[in-house]
Structure 1
């Protein structure tokens, strides 16, 4: 067997052959290509072919992101993380940082908002929550906003003692209309539905810091906790509460407070088998899957494995027979399989399903952490996936092949730097805290590569709220303190950077200017360009004016590095009444737009030409 081979070779940013510098295009949906008819007509793809010779342009656009989120991926704005520890005693998921995650909302007629956050004289964090309005019910569940605890339903064997503790202080407003405030320990059904209160210690709301604690033993299989303000229905309420971190733990007594998220560690990872696939010479054992008598075209081209579903059939793609590779064997059930790869969708749209098979040409033989047999992939990027070998639902107790398969679409993709590993340990650890939601809006398990606590790896999302860090090398466990900086790999790459950010938070121009300045100062070698922010036809006149002023400031700050995309689009308008009306309103002409904001193919072609012209003028 091959032991302990890391992924650093697979993740090297170095080009295969000398040539012009690559370009990284950082941005939001305009960079990602919303409104384009195909991947080939996004502005980075068009721009690549406008250079002579053609250039490599890496699309780092994620729709919906603010300039701060883009700057965190670029490395200009610090991104800090906390990962899971080995022994999380406190079952409240976010006692340390709940105030940063607090969402203003209305519960039973009362507005809940976090109006201040700070720390006490001992460094214990707290948040001040104002609750005001006219009560539409006899209670309001503050815990929903504080810890998300109403959604955190914990399995506990009947007869298990649990202890809750917390501290609250009234700091403003009055108790008029309020009957009291309690910390609840609740028995629940499997879906979190209320069954019974088994502990309900009451806080004293007299402007002193009130500590409460209680222990109870459950009789059902699930338990949860929350803070509840009891109210006289119809009352006018206005009270501000200072809420300190609480603890919810199994056991018959309260123990010392453990803040969550807290210090954690990247676990040890020593796979039994590791193999890297790069396609400089041949297909290295990756073959077409034969399905219904059809073999999808699979070839090596330009150092990549190129795969095509040429008839939109079911389960078309490529597969690797594991037992036939040097040192390989059928993977026993229960082993953890790690698959890392770079994927580029060359043409078409649809999903590529990645997973293990019982045997070449067979059925799925893996299971994800969510219980599915495969990971569905629908966007280009770097991916880090972990499966468990075996899928008894498909009658496959072991895994004999790895496959990339699509169904029902004329999809054309390429693969490179495929790493396959397996063993008893997982390279992944859950990320419990991010100072910035750097992968907000990211598609599926696409990854942001970088370094955390000196360990190279990839930050990924499952497309929902769960984030993971996957280490790139075999190695021992590494401690990670709370809010450890994550350093994106793009931050140190020597490419040219195109920065098109700020559309999604243009209403806060000071933030946009600060974020772009941070990105500009962080671009390696000072090789960057800044794109103008486009107004939307759905913007108010006030927002359009804010964007116009913001663009004027960007132009003054970055002079020859400023790419006036709005001006380029305006200059390409036709003479129709509609286009001329748009120009008069300060908008990009509608003949170049797919909707109120995003460009169509012609508009993206004009944007691409503007970026290329500005890059050439800089001598890059």
Structure 2
């Protein structure tokens, strides 16, 4: 499932009139609010009400992120992307930047590490992989380290020919204890489990570059490929291999190597129907779903549509009849439906299922890319969803309504800025490469709004390896060269930024300082504050000292722009033995934290005051 919170700061002209500036708080879990009892007790939420008049403070915290990942979302560190082209021939992922993603580790007792990267005389990238240790089994899977989870498990129509090819050269060590080196084409089950090898060409490990290729026809429904070093169990192994990108493709012959990711394009998008819903006046055609004689409360209030499952019943929510929209009609089966919206979960918890219905009050009539009838939403934010009209499992070929429904839980939510579009094309394209994992830790519940190759859209992730870019507006196809910069929309003018970064990579202080400097330089008008890095009771003494030194350096570099959050928490400590022991140890007083690091409501309230005081002292 691919969902995302759009990080757009675009405002209507009415909201751009002079007044208190919006504040954006960038950070990790301490900004996101881990440990707080609710969204309302995070420090950005508390701080908003401490201003007179209250200000809008946008929380841009994602737990677990490093300073580099935060800086990429903020725009200070470049975030470069590559998207899919019209013909993805090479099924091996990461063949242009593969050794940047090499996963150092141990497989069957043997350590795999990339000790050098380079390009050959023709500009072909390679990586020198050293494999050493004592073997505990008869093979070691090099492909797992190069390609992550080996290579993606690909659905394959039985009876289809597939071709694999690659080149390897032994450059150091010896072949002692090694029985051979093979490139495998493997039949697999749906989960990637091994069924059989249907092609296994062997490399020659004689010091020369050895190129191999093989073709086989599958009889099962899934295939994958990898590089395998065959070992004599118990042997001491020490060999270094220069590994060149391979190709894994459909067809009965090897073709010219295609490096992926490469140059691609954002596809043309011209929907047959497009309509945006804002709820400034009324519900604009969105009505309660009548289910089991019950109508869920639906009302337009303060520019939003408020929807409620007030009895924890099944399929409670709101619907829109497509055919009753001016210019609308029932969506024919097979058409692609794009639904974008802003949602806030106001009270309760649970999932809201978004999808199409055969008709108002009917059953599901859409299909996702995962063959589900709906996308399930469980977090506030901005979402960009794509469906196919029709659901044959429910015997519903066309789609006659759009619905937001919950079941089995008391839940209240608001909707705004809903866009419904449909046609033959999709606004989405797969992102095959990103220079920084800017959405690391997002778990599918957050996205990044901005522009790519001049096209406005949202970068989203499923929390795993799959990323999508969804364009916001119709337009022609736009070429995207490899490593094209993505420009986050938060880099707009007229705002203040509170920057907290470095907690999750404090042991690399040079990187933290560089990233913070890049973030500060990127803030329009230089209206920024830098928060101190908080120590954890789980840190060892060396890490605590590194953090203390980092904070001292930040205080010197940024002077009045430095907000000493740790000092504010120490001053607010009580006189208990436990708090005083924590202060003596150089960590956050335990009365102000929920765990080893994250603050409780009282702790977040103290940091909120510190941020607000520093902002007002700057005259902002």
Give the TM-score normalised by the residue count of structure 1: 0.94
Indicate the larger mover: 527-536 or 13-22: 13-22
Separation of aligned partners in 1, 2:535 and 2:123: 44
Name the CA shift for 1:412/1:57 in 2 (closer, same or farther; >3 Å). farther
Q: Which residue of 1 aligns with 2:3?
A: none
The alpha carbon displacement at 1:160 in A equals: 3.5
In structure 2, stretches of 5+ residues that fail to align are: 1-5
Q: Which residue of 2 aligns with 1:4?
A: none
Describe how 1:73-112 pairs up with structure 2 within 5 A.
73-112=73-112
In the alignment, structure 1 residue 169 sits paired with structure 2 residue 169: yes
The alpha carbon displacement at 1:149 in A equals: 6.8
Q: Is the 8 A contact 1:444 1:462 kept in 2?
A: yes
Q: Which residue of 1 aligns with 2:573?
A: 573
Q: Which residue of 1 aligns with 2:336?
A: 336
Q: Which residue of 1 aligns with 2:71?
A: 71
Separation of aligned partners in 1, 2:14 and 2:272: 29
Separation of aligned partners in 1, 2:242 and 2:442: 35
Corresponding residue SS for 2:185: strand
The alpha carbon displacement at 1:98 in A equals: 1.8
In the alignment, structure 1 residue 535 sits paired with structure 2 residue 535: yes
Name the CA shift for 1:614/1:13 in 2 (closer, same or farther; >3 Å). same
Q: How many residues align?
A: 612
Corresponding residue SS for 2:575: coil
Corresponding residue SS for 2:520: helix
Q: Which residue of 1 aligns with 2:280?
A: 280
Indicate the larger mover: 204-213 or 126-135: 204-213
Separation of aligned partners in 2, 1:244 and 1:420: 46
In structure 1, stretches of 5+ residues that fail to align are: 1-7
User: For each residue in 1:192-235, what CA deviation from the matched residue of structure 2 results, as whole angstroms up to 9, or x when unmatched?
Assistant: 34343333322222333222223334444443322111111101
Q: Which residue of 2 aligns with 1:472?
A: 472
Name the CA shift for 1:220/1:431 in 2 (closer, same or farther; >3 Å). same
Separation of aligned partners in 2, 1:233 and 1:553: 52
Separation of aligned partners in 2, 1:572 and 1:586: 14
Name the CA shift for 1:525/1:410 in 2 (closer, same or farther; >3 Å). farther
Q: Which residue of 2 aligns with 1:459?
A: 459
Separation of aligned partners in 2, 1:406 and 1:190: 30
Q: Is the 8 A contact 1:92 1:246 kept in 2?
A: yes
Q: Which residue of 1 aligns with 2:596?
A: 596
Q: Which residue of 2 aligns with 1:325?
A: 325
Name the CA shift for 1:271/1:48 in 2 (closer, same or farther; >3 Å). same
Q: Which residue of 2 aligns with 1:12?
A: 10
Q: Is the 8 A contact 1:365 1:398 kept in 2?
A: yes
Indicate the larger mover: 202-211 or 67-76: 202-211
In the alignment, structure 1 residue 607 sits paired with structure 2 residue 607: yes
Q: Is the 8 A contact 2:119 2:125 kept in 1?
A: yes
Following superposition, which runs of at least 4 residues in structure 1 exceed 6 angstroms of deviation?
Answer: none
Separation of aligned partners in 2, 1:559 and 1:273: 54
Separation of aligned partners in 2, 1:430 and 1:539: 39
Indicate the larger mover: 428-437 or 209-218: 209-218
The alpha carbon displacement at 1:311 in A equals: 4.1
Indicate the larger mover: 45-54 or 182-191: 182-191
User: For each residue in 1:151-208, what CA deviation from the matched residue of structure 2 results, as whole angstroms up to 9, or x when unmatched?
Assistant: 5333444444332221112222222211221222333444434343333322222333
User: For each residue in 1:415-459, what CA deviation from the matched residue of structure 2 results, as whole angstroms up to 9, or x when unmatched?
Assistant: 221111011111111111111111111143532111111111111
Separation of aligned partners in 2, 1:513 and 1:318: 49
Q: Which residue of 1 aligns with 2:587?
A: 587
Q: Is the 8 A contact 1:39 1:346 kept in 2?
A: no
Indicate the larger mover: 112-121 or 495-504: 112-121
Give the TM-score normalised by the residue count of structure 2: 0.94
